[in-house]
């Protein structure tokens, strides 16, 4: 007889939900009980568009093997919709392993081919240490604020634009 691996399930009781739909008191064990799968390290990703070709991707939570696929899907979606520049805000990421770092490097390579860019915004000290120790901070620019990264993008555009004589 084999065993099947399932995610942990925890019953959740809501306060104030001790009445049945008809209004009668329900036994305690029948309190609005739900089974909720508990993710080890939930990740929150929010995408805003400061400009049409720029995605500000704000990440909160652990960026690791368990959550990297979700992060990658958000970035791939933005590439698919024509974003060339990525501002990745890691100010609410207390932990990042090589999975998260590899995704940042992958989107960096894809964006450069467009041409585009990737900028890390305000990483936490632990994440900054990982970026520094691995050399990623040498390749991928790090800014304190999104506005600083947008200025770098503008300067890059200005230096690539031909001068008034068409050069």
Answer whether 40's CB lies under 8 Å from 71's CB: no
The β-bridge partners of 37 are 9
Nearest to 90 by CA among 154, 38, 149: 149
% of the chain at pLDDT higher than 70: 71
Answer whether 60's CB lies under 8 Å from 92's CB: yes
Average pLDDT value for residue range 122-127: 98
Domains identified in the chain and CATH numbers: 7-38 (no CATH), 43-160 (3.30.750.24)
Answer whether 63's CB lies under 8 Å from 105's CB: no
Poorest-pLDDT segment among 20-29, 68-77, 108-117, 150-159:
20-29
pLDDT at residue 165, rounded to an integer: 53
Has this prediction a pTM greater than 0.75?
no
- If you search the block for the tokens 């068409």, which residue do you land on? 166
Which helix (H) or strand (E) element contains residue 107?
A: helix 98-112
| Residues in the chain, overall count | 167
Which strands form 117-121's sheet, in the order they lie side by side? 43-51, 54-61, 85-92, 117-121, 142-143
pLDDT at residue 158, rounded to an integer: 85
How far is 83 from 127, CA to CA, in rounded Å?
Answer: 25
């Amino acid at each position: 007889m084999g065993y099947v691996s399932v995610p942990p399930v925890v019953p959740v009781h809501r306060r104030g939900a001790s009445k049945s739909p008809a209004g009668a008191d329900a036994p305690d064990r029948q309190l609005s009980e739900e089974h909720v799968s508990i993710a080890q390290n939930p990740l929150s990703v929010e995408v805003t568009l400061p400009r049409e070709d720029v995605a500000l991707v704000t990440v909160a939570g652990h960026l690791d093997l368990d959550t990297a696929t979700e992060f990658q899907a958000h970035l791939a979606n933005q590439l698919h919709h024509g974003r060339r520049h990525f501002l990745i805000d890691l100010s609410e990421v207390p932990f990042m392993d090589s999975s998260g770092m590899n995704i940042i490097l992958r989107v960096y390579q894809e964006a450069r081919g467009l041409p585009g860019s990737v900028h890390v915004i305000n990483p936490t000290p632990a994440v900054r240490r990982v970026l520094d120790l691995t050399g990623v901070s040498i390749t991928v620019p790090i800014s304190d604020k999104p506005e600083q990264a947008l200025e770098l993008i503008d300067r890059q555009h200005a230096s690539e634009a031909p001068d008034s004589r068409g050069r």
